[in-house]
């Protein structure tokens, strides 16, 4: 079955601390993975995707096929990073996304 799991509902860190939001997936095939972010009162927006291998706002994510993971990392959290983060898997040729349940990141001053 195709599935995305984000084990933490809430992650709370202090400003300047490292952050790792966990994401594991189950997919028979070559996965295409994304991280979406939703800031307070804003719409869901794409943060990054594994194909691009880019760093956005200091965040990176590496696809680990052996561990079927796509964890999101940032070395030094900022207060403006506080948001809801969703990991998503693109399924099949139609492009539909399978989302994890989301992790709320709270960065305390």
Partner 1 sequence: NAGVMQNPRHLVRRRGQEARLRCSPMKGHSHVYWYRQLPEEGLKFMVYLQKENIIDESGMPKERFSAEFPKEGPSILRIQQVVRGDSAAYFCASSPPTNQGTLQYFGPGTRLTVL
Between residue 28 and residue 57, which ones bind partner 1 under the rule CB under 8 A? 32, 36, 43-46, 49
**C-beta of residue 90 within 8 angstroms of C-beta of residue 34:** yes
Cα–Cα distance, 108 to 28 (Å, whole number) = 39
CB of 69 or CB of 91, closer to partner 1:
91
Minimum CB distance to partner 1, residue 9 (Å): 8
Minimum CB distance to partner 1, residue 109 (Å): 28
Q: Alpha helix locations (H) across the chain?
A: none
**C-beta of residue 105 within 8 angstroms of C-beta of residue 39:** no
**C-beta of residue 77 within 8 angstroms of C-beta of residue 15:** yes
Q: Which of 48, 100, 105, 107 binds partner 1 (CB under 8 A)?
A: 100
Write out the residues near partner 1 by the rule CB under 8 A: 4, 6, 32, 36, 43-46, 49, 86, 90-91, 93-102
């Amino acid at each position: 079955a195709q599935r995305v799991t984000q084990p933490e509902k809430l992650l709370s860190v202090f400003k300047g601390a490292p952050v790792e939001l966990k994401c594991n997936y189950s997919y028979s095939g070559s996965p295409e993975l994304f991280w979406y972010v939703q800031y307070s009162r804003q719409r869901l927006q794409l943060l990054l995707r594994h194909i691009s291998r880019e760093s956005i706002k200091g965040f990176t994510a590496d696809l680990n096929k052996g561990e079927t993971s796509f964890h999101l990392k940032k070395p030094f959290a900022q207060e403006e990073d506080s948001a809801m983060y969703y990991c998503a898997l693109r399924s099949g040729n139609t492009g539909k996304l399978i989302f994890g349940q989301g992790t709320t990141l709270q960065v305390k001053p």
